Structure 1
Amino acid sequence: MAVLVALGAFLMTLAGGWTAQRVTDRRHLVLGLAGGLMLGVVGLDLLPEALKAAGTEVFGVPAALLLFVAGFLLAHMAERLLADLPRDPHSARTEEIPTVAHGTGAPDGRVPEVGLTAAAAMVGHSAMDGVAIGAAFQVGGGMGASVALAVVAHDFADGFNTYTITSLYGNARRKAMAMLFADAAAPVLGAASTLFFVLPEPLLGGYLGLFGGVLLYLAAAEILPEAHHEHPARPTLLCTIAGAAFIWLVVGLAG
């Protein structure tokens, strides 16, 4: 049953990626929406679940919050380390390249490997979404249905963000599509894996906290600044607010 439900997440992820690639002429609005979706997922979905699951404290601080900060710092360090690596001068962005929508170049010297690493983290998160569906169905049908609703709904945002992040860093369209399909398949594989093991709740909570920190860094330090670069702020800001509000609605309906 869990694997069949995860197929809905597969379709929603592909729908999100398709939406992201079809609106390249309004890329700043796409990025603004993606930033809002990512902020909403972190603050309204991942962190509450992480705090609930990983209830232990380390030196007076919840373990999930420590891992959240660690995830933010790891993302920052990874970007800085990759940015310092030597690059092929022919792959750098020049003034003649007007957009990164189809992977023609990375803006402001961004390194394509960062985008692929971030997308890989999204794939890992989607696999854990599938694990969460399977684990919830192990508890009971009602719990499984509730978790599945939340996962399927926000996997639209996952597909949207996976394609956007990969493209934003200058990767070719085929790579963005490959990461999108990997992200779509991950929940199905994650749900299938729960037929063979039971994931400890504290471990799941710690992972959610760590991934939340990575996602917040990408939204605050990369996606939103790029969205507001040389574009009218008000429409982009409204898209960001709409993205966060959508996740709030999804979380409220799933609750």
Structure 2
Amino acid sequence: MVVLVALGSFVMTLVGGWTAQHVADRRHLVLGFAGGLMLGVVGLDLLPEALEGAGEEVYGVPAALLLFVGGFLAAHVIERLLALRQAEHGAHTPEQVPQVGMGAAAAMVGHSIADGVAIGASFQVGEAMGLTVALAVISHDFADGFNTYTVTSAYGNARRKALAMLFADAAAPVVGAASTLLFHIPARALGCYLGFFGGVLLYIAAAEILPEASHRHPARSTLLCTVAGAGLMWVVIGAAGG
């Protein structure tokens, strides 16, 4: 079941890469909706589950919330370091630009493996939890596929290399999800992991997906798609809980 659900990430990543090659004008609506889904999953499902599972407090603050903030900051630091590295190479050593593109794409592949692990870990909590987290991951995999192909080709790499990185990024969540079939995560560790992953997911939604959705199309329809995505997750999570 876990691997079958993760195959949805595989397909959506390829769809994002295909869109990057043909630049669909409605991409901003998909990204707006994906951002809303991710916001709903983090606030309405991941955080409550993490708070319940992680248990103890650290200096008066629930461990899950500390890890949530840690996940947000970790994603921010990694993104800033990658951006600085790309700027340095782009400005001073043009001949290394293709390698920078490959490095950035490889980082996205690593992130996608973590997405797959999150899907598998969530299924260890329960099927309803697993499906809601998978829905959030699958929705933002469109942007992952789009960005993986774009960043690889934009830095001067051949189309075949861009496609190779796209397929690696598509396969990564399946590999990550399958790995969780080999071990069982203790309940407390699982709560802590979900808190950390929630912070990472929120950063991706707030700092990457939603700004990108509104950058060229600051339309009311994009905002409505975001609200609809969050509302849909409320309905899905409520129905699963019932």
For Structure 1 versus Structure 2, the TM-score category normalised by the shorter chain is: 0.7 to 0.9
Q: Deviations along 1:83-110, whole A, 9 cap, x unmatched?
A: 2223243787xxxxxxxxxxxx9xxxx9
The equivalent residue for 1:181 is 171
- RMSD across aligned C-alpha pairs, in angstroms? 2.9
The equivalent residue for 2:38 is 38
The equivalent residue for 2:89 is 87
Length-normalised TM-score, structure 2: 0.77
CA distance in structure 1 between the aligned counterparts of 2:219 and 2:15, rounded to whole angstroms: 22
The equivalent residue for 2:239 is 253
Number of residue-to-residue matches in the alignment: 223
Give the CA deviation at 1:121: 2.8
Q: Provide structure 1 residue ranges, at least 5 long, that are not aligned to the other structure.
A: 93-104, 137-143
The equivalent residue for 1:236 is 222
Instruction: Say whether residues 1:166 and 2:166 are aligned partners.
Output: no
Query: Is contact 1:17-1:160 (8 Å) kept?
Result: yes
What percentage of residue pairs aligned between the two structures are identical? 45
Matches within 5 A, 1:12-161: 12-21=8-17, 24-25=23-24, 26-85=26-85, 86-88=88-90, 89=94, 113=103, 116-133=106-123, 135-136=124-125, 144-150=126-132, 153-157=135-139, 159-161=141-143
Greater helix content? 2
User: SS in structure 2 opposite 1:84?
Assistant: helix
Length-normalised TM-score, structure 1: 0.73
The equivalent residue for 2:3 is 7
Matches within 5 A, 1:213-232: 213-232=199-218
Cα distance change, pair 231–16 in 1 and its aligned pair in 2 (3 A): same
CA distance in structure 2 between the aligned counterparts of 1:152 and 1:74, rounded to whole angstroms: 22
Query: Is contact 1:12-1:159 (8 Å) kept?
Result: no
Give the CA deviation at 1:126: 1.9
Q: Provide structure 2 residue ranges, at least 5 long, that are not aligned to the other structure.
A: 154-161
Cα distance change, pair 72–165 in 1 and its aligned pair in 2 (3 A): farther
